[in-house]
């Protein structure tokens, strides 16, 4: 029952999502969030505030975190998008493992976005200073945990990543 | 009323002009039906809130040529308007030569938003939290109009013209230019060494006060740089303030009053009072004008207090570490003398 | 201290964890169905107005629009409300707040549904807007409901306070104001509503009590409750905010009307506008002591803004009245509380349930009284604590745990509290940074209280596939209910997690356990499992004994099956047992939450206790407060799930920080000024990057039958008064209104200016 007017403005759109090439006909002004969730069924990316203030819809675009609710799809044209579904497909990522072990989640609704942010942080700074952790996490709201368990998860993930990369020697004070 | 995201069920048309001139001509042709879109983060917030209706035509500036680079040129650093805040935040030249711009960007939104939002967008909003830091460094704006690229316009003047409604709303911000620094830090950076020149006491500080510790709309923003010369007088005093919906502005009268005057604690109550008079905040339901005035006055006076503490503890002479690295809300942790 | 390493093997990975960290978990708002429609609700354009007419023709004529419903299309009761059904599904002739629903649309796309809303023509006649509960009680103002503008009055009196005040040496009077706090669950309201070919309707939508939603929806649709299936978990956060119906009536009606699946997922803007908030309260207290520090008289007046409709406003108010008396023994008490209808946003149930407001005021009084007496504030509290003999706030008998004194002692001995006396003058901080340490004492009731039906229960059975199926009518809001249930089955029954199937959140599959609210679910699951243990394992072992031809006395339950207690060898797997049993192996129990032998409506019987100590830093340039350290001691019986327990206290406390410093859903003339998360500010990681210590006190008196007490709410209560006390120590200023106004805490006297009085 879709009306013809609805078809107006569809354009071919191509981008790489979780390592695979995706081509769709979409309105270029649509939000990346909606295309991911509604057209591609990638519902691990969550909708919450619609204006980039909560981080529940966080994905990576060319390796850096962006709020997919803020990105019209034309901005993602030809770029590489990673969603939570693209993480840990061959076994959990150390960040996911750390959240699981520390209990860095409760309702879990902010968790995919939070994990995308932490993966980007630790990719850039495997052993982040407390200020770097605070800055990186400032765009991800969590209402359940009070962040304490999340900050412990970040520290644990960092220790694990450092441990895997260059032997023991994590500072272990990322969340103080 | 409810937010109207998509008024007629038709998707907006997105245009990708090749350059700024083409974008400008498109805008002239489409008129009020069109809107320039850079990162689009502020627009999205306004659309959702219903404070702006969605335009049927979007003119994408990000793919237009010539606005996406940061480069040194004669006389300063040029930042394309479409450079994201995230890129600016990590740009080594920008953040070392103009540290308060880096600090202000660090206090703006969150990293993920900064990866989309542009410096040009922050400037063109007229109230962006980066503006006081740009004002401090006497930034200039380069615009595109029908004829082409205009001569650089000081940011200060643009803000005033904007407030007066005396601007061509269709012209496009091409770049933000930061002039070469003539002060101590600039000379040091240019000469490439900390020990090459005799040191002066100086500070360079940006503060943002919001309603929580991070990712908050600003209530008050301040940027201060000042030096004390060998004679114990203030020099190179630059002070800017903004926050919320206030038009960011240099506190020129206060700067003039301070420059060349004896750097002395007894002046600070006057500094406080002069900020109270000169700073023009915009109150809202979250914080009144009085609070904003007092906050700006306190922060600016405290910055100078910190500078004077260096005099007390160092006796003048040795180059004191700038304190802008520290968290604005933590308060600088320098030991009082 | 409670943490991962101190918990050893009791610190377990949550059963829902894998799906949460991988994004695989399907929330109910993630669901979709082929050919589904998108539902939208038209909310009132005015906070108070008469509706002259509603015309839906233009919207209905829009291609792609399949239904436009108004009150005329409600087959059953056009009202809902857990305690009192006074909220219209669709308004008939009047709207009372901007979240009121006037119509609903189902269309083929979200854009069409959005556009259709704009085509619905409603003629309003704006009416005087009541924004202030005090004003709403004055004569001559519009009456929002047939019984007037007072939803509820709750009173408690003991002795003659006027006489007692006469005997007081010191009297402290203060007025405390608390904000309209938003739950801010990250998942906004929504779900999928699927009509079945058999005439049944399946509702996939988060709620804290699926069976209550089913009952309410059955009344609205005028169908038997059994014809509706409510699937209500998992939930992306609730905190009380999804206890009441929200979008379910609209989804259900639209699905029924169109015969197609309908999806609704509210935007954050709409969630703010329509959803519940914590009751803003003004609490006036007048409290007097004798020279020795005994409290002789306590007078309290509470005024709560309940918004346009009841939901649980009356019950919240009863809780507040109980907790403004709280854990102290007063010579005489005179407490009168009113909850008043206004045209502001809906107030209702929210974690802490009226205790947060009460304790901010009550603990504020304790600190003020101690100060006028020149006494240590903690010693002053102890001197006036209720006797440990089982007397409650209303004088009602309560279950004795000894928790009050234990949390009192734990705080007194805490390092943080001991530093209070030795705060450095300024140290290496600039003069405008001032620090302080403060503490608060909390006693928090759990369960719904006397006089309100509070049934619970659960069911166990050995399923055909050999899984031990545990079914409860509770919901997983994120609190870790599934993890706690699993851990209790493992630790109390000796089963392995892999032996279990946990069934919750589906009215077709669960018994009535009551609502996942009032800090009651863990207590009730523990109680149910304790009651079912003998019958269930007895039947299991008897059947295994029969099948294996051995004596049941030689058998015990274990991982993966039944074991011989002597040889420790597995006699039979559960799968094997399930294949051969003749009669189903099951156990079911139903009982009621324990109540006090009293006649006082709402009085509680089981209480948890907590003490909270904080260190804060106040920047006098900006007036902003920063939380530096937190210490929580909690006495609530044994810890069932260490990770969950810690998470509840840390998370509750984080929420309380927002209540104290930044959160207030500001309204002007009945309209929200904080429409989204850019203006309504909950804490970020930067606000909460402080140290947190949680000390659980687990022991209970010999013979205690009630086991673990609730901890779901108590963490959200004590932080605000503790911060207020710390700010007083740091600055000499009392906070009376939350969130704290930084303007009150500014001081530029370091410049040599005169301190301004504000």
- Interface confidence, given as ipTM, is 0.97
Q: Does domain C455-505+514-592 have CATH number 3.30.365.10?
A: yes
Name the residue among A29, A58, A140 with its Cβ closest to that of B14: A29
Alpha carbon separation from C563 to C49, C499, C536 (Å, rounded)? 70, 14, 16
Contact A52 B8 (CB under 8 A): no
Q: Which run of H or of E encompasses C563?
A: strand C561-564
* Interchain pair A109, C237: CB under 8 A: yes
Is the peptide bond prior to C234 cis by the omega test (within 30 degrees of 0)? yes
CA distances, B12 to each of A49, B18, B51, C62 (Å):
22, 19, 18, 20
Overall CATH class of domain B13-60: alpha beta
Return the pLDDT at B9. 56
Q: With contact defined as beta carbons under 8 Å apart, do B42 and B116 qualify?
A: no
Is the CB of A59 inside 8 Å of chain B's CB atoms?
A: no
Beta carbons within 10 angstroms of residue B179's beta carbon? 15
Query: Which positions in chain A touch C111 (Cβ < 8 Å)?
Result: 6
Check CB contact under 8 Å for C748 and B2: no
Selected residue of A30, A102, A114, A143 to mutate for chain C interface (largest C Cβ count, 10 A):
A143
- Give C439's strand partners: C613
- The CA distance from C7 to C3, in Å, is 6
Q: Alpha-carbon distance B202 to A176, whole Å?
A: 31
Residue C111 touches chain B, beta carbons under 8 Å? yes
Find, in chain B, the residue whose alpha carbon is nearest to that of C269: B49
Distance in angstroms (rounded) separating the CA atoms of residues B2 and A122:
40
CATH class of residue range C28-128+186-237+242-274: alpha beta
- How many Cβ atoms sit within 10 Å of the Cβ of residue C111? 22
Instruction: Verify whether the Cβ–Cβ distance A49 to C676 is below 8 Å.
Output: yes
The partner residue sitting opposite C236, judged by closest CB among A38, A87, A109, is A109
Rounded to whole angstroms, how far apart are CA atoms C401 and B202? 62
Tell me if A2 and C4 make a contact (CB, 8 A cut-off).
no
CATH of A94-166, one of 3.30.1180.10, 2.40.40.20, 1.10.150.120, 3.40.1190.10: 1.10.150.120
Residue A118 pLDDT grade (very low, low, confident, very high; cuts 50, 70, 90): very high
Residues C575, C580, C583, C589, Cα dihedral to 10°: -20
pLDDT of residue C199: 93
The sign of the dihedral angle between the CA atoms of C593, C596, C598, C602 is negative
User: What residues of chain C, 410 to 439, have a C-beta less than 8 Å from chain B?
Assistant: 426, 428-433
How much is the pLDDT for B199? 62
Q: Is A44 on the interface with B (CB under 8 A)?
A: no
Provide the 8-state DSSP code for C197.
Answer: T
Q: What per-residue confidence (pLDDT) applies to B328?
A: 33
CATH 3.90.1170.50 in chain C, residue ranges? 28-128+186-237+242-274
pLDDT value at residue C71: 98
Q: How far apart are CA B102 and CA B91, in angstroms?
A: 9
Look at residue C751 in the predicted model and tell me its pLDDT.
Answer: 87
List the single residue in A1, A43, A50 with the smallest CB-CB distance to C64: A1
Closest CB to A135: pick one of B106, B113, B116. B106
Nearest CA in chain C to A103: C643
Mean pLDDT score of chain C: 97
Give alpha helix (H) positions in C388-510. Answer: 403-413, 415-418, 481-493
Stated pTM of the model: 0.95
Residue in chain B lying closest to C683 (CA): B212
Chain A partners of C478 at a C-beta cutoff of 8 Å?
Answer: 105-109, 144
For the residues of B228-297, what is the DSSP string, one character each? E-TTSBEEEEEEEEE-TTSPPEE-HHHHHHHTTSB--GGGHHHHHHHHHHH------SSS-HHHHHHHHH
First to last CA, chain B: 57
Contact assessment for residue C527 and residue C447, using Cβ atoms and an 8 Å cutoff? no
- Please report all neighbours of C, defined by 3+ CB atom pairs within 8 A: A, B
The alpha carbon of residue B178 is apart from the nearest alpha carbon of chain C, in Å, by 30
DSSP letter (8 states) at residue A35: I
Q: CB pairs below 8 Å between A and B: how many?
A: 90
In a mutational test of the C interface, the residue from A8, A60, A100, A108 whose CB has the highest number of chain C CBs within 10 Å is A108
**Cβ of A51 and B45 within 8 Å?**
yes
Q: Using the beta-carbon criterion (under 8 Å), do B302 and C432 form an inter-chain contact?
A: yes
- Does residue A3 sit at the B interface (CB-CB below 8 Å)? yes
Overall fold of domain C281-449+599-751: Aldehyde Oxidoreductase; domain 4 (3.30.365)
pLDDT of res. B187: 59
Distance from CA of C33 to the nearest CA of A (A): 11
Chains that touch A (3 or more CB pairs under 8 A): B, C
Q: How many CA atoms lie within 13 A of C671 on its CB side?
A: 9
CA-CA distance, C402 to C85, in Å (whole number)?
A: 40
Judge: C186–A151 Cβ closer than 8 Å, yes or no. Answer: no
DSSP E strands in C378-454: the ranges are 433-446
Instruction: Enumerate the residues of chain A whose CB falls inside 8 A of the CB of residue B110.
Output: 52, 55, 138-140
Neighboring chain C residues of B209 at a CB cutoff of 8 Å = 622, 624
Return per-residue pLDDT of chain B as tens, 337 residues. Answer: 333 334 445 789 999 999 999 999 999 999 999 999 999 999 999 999 999 999 999 999 999 999 999 999 988 999 999 999 999 999 999 999 999 999 999 999 999 999 999 999 999 999 999 999 999 999 999 999 988 999 999 999 999 999 999 899 899 999 999 999 876 565 555 555 455 455 679 999 999 999 999 999 999 999 999 999 999 999 999 999 999 999 999 999 999 999 999 999 999 999 999 999 999 999 999 999 999 999 999 999 999 999 999 877 654 433 333 333 333 333 333 332 2
Per the CB < 8 Å rule, is B268 touching C428? no
Q: Is the dihedral of CA B78, B81, B83, B89 positive or negative?
A: positive
Q: What percent of chain C has pLDDT over 70?
A: 99
Per CATH, the number for B194-314 is 3.30.390.50
Helix (H, G, I), strand (E, B) or coil at B58: strand
Domain ranges in chain C with CATH number 3.30.365.10: 281-449+599-751, 455-505+514-592
Q: Which DSSP string do the residues of B153-187 spell out, in sequence order?
A: EEHHHHHHHHHTT-S-TT-EEEEEEEEPP-SHHHH
**Domain locations along chain A:** 8-86, 94-166
CB C40 within 8 A of CB C732: no
Contact C429 B331 (CB under 8 A): yes
C399 token code pair: 């279950």
* Residue A161 to chain B, least CA–CA distance (Å): 22
Residue range A8-86 forms a domain whose CATH class is alpha beta
Given the DSSP bridges, would you call strands C667-668 and C671-672 parallel, antiparallel or unpaired? antiparallel
Contact at CB, A141 and C682, closer than 8 angstroms: yes
User: What pLDDT, in 10s, does the model give residues A22-76?
Assistant: 999 999 999 999 999 999 999 999 999 999 999 999 999 999 999 999 999 999 9
- Cα nearest neighbour of B61 on chain A: A75
Measured between its terminal Cα atoms, the distance across chain C in Å is: 42
Tell me which chain B residues have a C-beta less than 8 angstroms from the C-beta of A30. 11
What class, spelled out in words, does domain B70-179 have in CATH? alpha beta
Extract the tokens encoding A89: 């497909």
Low-confidence ranges of chain C (pLDDT < 70): 424-427, 753-758
> In the beta sheet, which residues pair with residue A158?
none
∠ CA B300-B302-B305 to the nearest 5 degrees? 115
* Domain range list for chain B: 13-60, 70-179, 194-314
- CA separation for the pair C218, C470 (Å, rounded): 27
* A143/C650 touch (CB, cutoff 8 Å), yes or no: no
The span from the CA of B175 to the CA of B158, in Å, is 13
**What order of strands is seen across the sheet that includes strand C170-177?**
C150-158, C332-341, C295-307, C281-289, C170-177
Per residue in A70-110, pLDDT tens? 999 999 999 999 999 999 999 999 999 999 999 999 999 99
In angstroms, the CA C656 to CA B82 distance is 41
């Amino acid at each position: 029952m879709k009306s013809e007017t609805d078809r107006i403005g569809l354009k071919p759109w191509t981008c790489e999502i979780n390592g695979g090439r995706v081509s769709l006909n979409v309105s270029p002004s649509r939000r990346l969030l909606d295309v991911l969730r509604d057209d591609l069924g990638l519902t691990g990316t969550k909708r919450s505030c619609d204006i980039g203030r909560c981080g529940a819809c966080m994905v990576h675009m060319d390796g850096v975190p962006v709020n997919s609710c803020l990105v019209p799809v034309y901005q993602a044209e030809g770029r590489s998008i990673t969603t939570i579904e693209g993480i840990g497909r061959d076994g959990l990522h150390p960040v996911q493992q750390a959240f699981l072990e520390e209990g860095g989640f409760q309702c879990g609704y902010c968790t995919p976005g939070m994990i995308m942010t932490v993966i980007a942080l630790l990719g850039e700074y495997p052993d982040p200073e407390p200020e770097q952790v605070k800055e990186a996490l400032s765009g991800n709201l969590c209402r359940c945990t009070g962040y304490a368990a999340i900050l412990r998860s970040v520290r644990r993930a960092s220790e694990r990543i450092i441990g895997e990369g260059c032997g023991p020697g994590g500072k272990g004070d990322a969340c103080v | 009323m409810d937010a109207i995201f998509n008024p007629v069920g038709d998707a907006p048309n997105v245009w990708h002009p090749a350059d700024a001139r083409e974008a400008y001509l498109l805008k002239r042709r489409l008129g009020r039906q069109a809107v320039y879109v850079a990162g689009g983060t502020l627009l999205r917030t306004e659309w959702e809130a219903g404070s702006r209706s969605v335009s049927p035509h979007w003119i994408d500036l990000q793919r237009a040529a010539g606005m996406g680079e940061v480069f040194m040129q004669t006389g300063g650093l040029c930042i394309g308007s479409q450079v994201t805040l995230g890129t600016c935040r990590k740009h080594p030249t920008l953040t070392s030569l103009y540290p308060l711009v880096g600090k202000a960007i660090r206090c703006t939104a969150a990293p993920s938003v900064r990866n989309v939002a542009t410096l040009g967008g922050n400037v063109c909003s007229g109230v962006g939290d980066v503006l006081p830091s740009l004002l401090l460094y006497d930034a200039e704006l380069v615009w595109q109009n029908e004829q082409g690229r205009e001569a650089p316009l000081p940011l200060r003047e643009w803000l005033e013209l904007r407030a007066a409604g005396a601007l061509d709303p269709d012209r496009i911000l091409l770049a933000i230019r930061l002039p070469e620094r003539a002060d101590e830090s600039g000379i040091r950076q240019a000469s490439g060494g900390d020990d090459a020149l005799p040191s002066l006491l100086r500070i360079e500080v940006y503060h943002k006060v919001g309603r929580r510790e991070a990712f908050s709309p600003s209530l008050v923003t301040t940027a201060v740089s000042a030096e004390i010369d060998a004679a114990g007088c203030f020099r190179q005093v630059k002070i800017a303030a903004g926050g919320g919906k206030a038009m960011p502005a240099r506190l020129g009268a206060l700067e003039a009053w301070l420059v060349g005057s004896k750097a002395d604690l007894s002046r600070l109550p006057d500094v406080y009072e002069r900020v109270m008079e000169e700073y023009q905040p915009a109150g809202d339901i979250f914080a009144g004008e009085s609070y904003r005035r007092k906050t700006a006055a306190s922060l600016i006076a405290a910055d100078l207090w910190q500078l004077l503490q260096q005099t007390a503890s160092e006796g003048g002479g040795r180059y004191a570490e700038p304190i802008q690295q520290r968290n604005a809300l933590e308060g600088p942790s320098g030991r009082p003398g | 201290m409670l943490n991962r390493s101190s918990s050893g093997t009791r610190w377990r990975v949550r059963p829902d964890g894998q799906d949460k960290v991988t994004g695989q978990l399907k929330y109910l708002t993630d669901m979709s169905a082929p050919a589904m429609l998108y539902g939208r609700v038209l909310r009132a354009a005015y906070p108070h107005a008469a509706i002259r007419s509603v015309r839906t023709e233009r919207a209905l004529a829009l291609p792609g629009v399949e239904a436009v419903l108004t009150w005329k299309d409600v087959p059953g009761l056009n009202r809902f409300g857990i305690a009192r059904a006074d909220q219209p599904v669709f308004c008939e002739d009047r709207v009372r707040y901007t979240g009121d629903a006037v119509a609903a649309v189902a269309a083929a796309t979200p854009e069409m549904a959005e556009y259709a809303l704009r085509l619905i023509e409603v003629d309003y006649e704006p009416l005087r807007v009541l924004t202030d509960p005090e004003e709403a009680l004055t004569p001559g103002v519009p009456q929002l409901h047939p019984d007037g503008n007072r939803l509820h009055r709750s009173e408690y009196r003991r002795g003659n306070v006027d006489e007692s005040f006469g005997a007081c040496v010191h009297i402290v009077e203060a007025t405390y104001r608390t904000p309209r706090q938003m739950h801010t669950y990250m998942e906004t309201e929504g779900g999928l509503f699927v009509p079945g070919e058999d005439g049944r309707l399946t509702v996939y939508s988060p709620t804290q009590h699926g069976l209550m939603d089913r009952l309410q929806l059955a009344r609205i649709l005028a169908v038997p409750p059994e014809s509706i299936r409510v699937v209500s978990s998992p939930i992306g956060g609730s905190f009380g905010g999804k206890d009441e119906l929200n979008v379910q009536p609209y989804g259900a009606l639209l699905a029924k009307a169109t015969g197609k699946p309908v999806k609704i997922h509210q935007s954050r803007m709409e969630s703010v506008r329509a959803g519940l908030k914590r009751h803003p309260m003004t609490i006036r207290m007048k409290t007097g002591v004798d020279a020795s520090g005994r409290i002789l008289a306590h007078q309290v007046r509470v005024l709560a803004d309940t918004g346009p409709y009841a939901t649980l406003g009356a019950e919240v108010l009863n809780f507040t009245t109980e907790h403004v008396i709280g854990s102290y023994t007063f010579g005489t008490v005179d407490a009168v509380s009113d909850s008043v209808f206004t045209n502001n946003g809906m107030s209702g149930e929210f974690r802490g349930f009226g205790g947060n407001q009460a304790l901010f005021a009550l603990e504020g009084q304790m600190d003020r009284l101690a100060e006028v007496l020149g006494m240590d504030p903690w010693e002053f509290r102890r001197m006036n604590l209720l006797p440990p003999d089982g007397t409650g706030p209303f004088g009602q008998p309560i279950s004795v745990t000894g928790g009050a004194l234990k949390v009192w002692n734990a705080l007194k001995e805490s390092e943080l509290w001991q530093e209070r006396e030795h705060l450095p003058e300024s140290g290496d901080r600039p003069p405008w940074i001032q620090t302080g340490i403060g503490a608060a004492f909390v006693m928090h009731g759990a369960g719904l209280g006397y006089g309100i039906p509070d049934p619970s229960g659960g069911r166990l059975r050995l399923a055909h596939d050999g899984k031990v199926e545990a079914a409860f009518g509770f919901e997983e809001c994120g609190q870790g209910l599934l993890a706690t249930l699993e851990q209790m089955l493992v630790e109390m029954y000796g089963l392995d997690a892999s032996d279990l199937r946990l069934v919750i959140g589906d009215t077709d599959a669960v018994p009535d356990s009551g609502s996942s609210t009032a800090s009651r679910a863990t207590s009730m699951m523990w109680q149910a499992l304790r009651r079912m243990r003998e019958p269930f394992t007895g039947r299991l072992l008897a059947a295994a004994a029969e099948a294996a031809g051995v004596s049941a006395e030689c058998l015990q339950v274990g991982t993966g099956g039944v074991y011989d207690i002597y040889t420790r060898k597995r006699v039979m797997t559960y799968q094997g047992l399930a294949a051969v049993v003749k009669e189903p192996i099951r156990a079911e129990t139903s009982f009621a939450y324990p109540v006090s032998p009293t006649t006082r409506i709402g009085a509680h019987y089981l209480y948890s206790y907590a003490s909270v100590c904080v260190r804060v830093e106040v920047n006098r340039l900006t007036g902003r407060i920063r939380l530096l350290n937190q210490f929580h001691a909690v006495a609530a019986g044994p810890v069932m799930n260490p990770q969950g327990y810690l998470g509840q206290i840390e998370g509750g406390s984080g929420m309380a920080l927002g209540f104290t410093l930044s959160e207030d859903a500001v309204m002007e003339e009945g309209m929200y000024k904080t429409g989204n998360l850019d203006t309504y500010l909950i804490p970020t990681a930067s606000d909460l990057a402080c140290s947190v210590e949680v000390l659980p006190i687990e022991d209970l008196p010999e013979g205690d039958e009630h086991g673990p007490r609730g901890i779901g709410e108590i963490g959200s209560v004590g932080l605000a008064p503790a911060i207020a006390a710390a700010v007083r120590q740091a600055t000499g200023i009392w906070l009376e209104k939350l969130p704290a106004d930084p303007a009150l805490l500014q001081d530029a006297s370091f410049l040599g200016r005169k301190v301004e009085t504000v």
